[in-house]
Structure 1
């Protein structure tokens, strides 16, 4: 997949992105040392990556066990009809629900998949019945309660410079 943002990246940019994915709180001095630059050029590259939306934001990853968000549930949602208006209404309504961490329009037997974090099963039942099933256009849903989180990684596998150059 060719993207204008990936074509502008070079080997040092990839090193910066990898280092920031591993530790977004790294100092610019340490980051510069890690990627083999002096501080000012390193800072300029980071700012360019932010401006160009290669780096979208910085966030703390919180432990759900300490925050009453122990239960992780994925929900498949099918809509009654597939129209731009219904999709738009559904997206806007989902965006307002803080218990839904992610919402993805997907291909296949259903339209959307939701990732929800809630305190317990009774809270999920309330979320499903009072909110999800009342969202615009929802016909049906199917839920998958996570019994064990085997792997959760928020980093993106970075392509090599050679792979990026093949895109061009």
Structure 2
């Protein structure tokens, strides 16, 4: 699946809206309009366009993993057995189906993919590793890194 490479033209108001919503996605349109210096109707038009053009993909709650029993974060490096388009596509499709995989990156270098995984504990990861990761298509080698401390996880883009 190829991604659209051309971004829409963004106005100064669009940039203000993006920055403000990144900091607090729960703002009402009225409050957002005040903060970015627009009328509510103009703000709604800008925001709607940002969603329609997929500049804003979605708005979600950022949940504290400790509060929902998913405190263990694991980074997993995957090396595939072959470097073909079909093997890469099959792996990516299968990785997308696993809810424990929060993020999946195709990278350059000795490792083909990095996965960010959240589970309850090491025991749960061990089960996930043996039942799911090792059965992903094309996996030749798995390198596991348990996260000891999360230093920065706010996920805001520098705008």
Aligned-pair distance for 1:4? Answer: 3.1
How far the C-alpha of 1:129 sits from its partner, in A, is 1.4
Partner of 1:72: 73
1:15 Cα offset (Å): 0.5
- Alpha-carbon deviations, 1:43-98, whole Å to 9, x = none? 00000111110011010010111111110000000000011111111111111111
Detail structure 1 runs of 4+ shifted over 2 Å in the superposition. none
User: TM-score scaled to structure 1, two decimals?
Assistant: 0.89
Q: Which runs of 5+ in 1 are unaligned?
A: 159-168
Number of aligned residue pairs: 155
Relative contact order: is structure 1 or structure 2 higher (C-alpha 8 Å, sep ≥ 6)?
Answer: 1
User: TM-score, normalised on structure 2?
Assistant: 0.94
How far, CA to CA, are the matches of 1:97 and 1:29 in structure 2? 38
Q: Which 5+ residue runs of structure 2 have no aligned equivalent?
A: none
2:57 is paired with a residue whose SS is coil
Q: Give the match for residue 63 of structure 1.
A: 64
The answer to which of 74-83 and 121-130 deviates more is 121-130
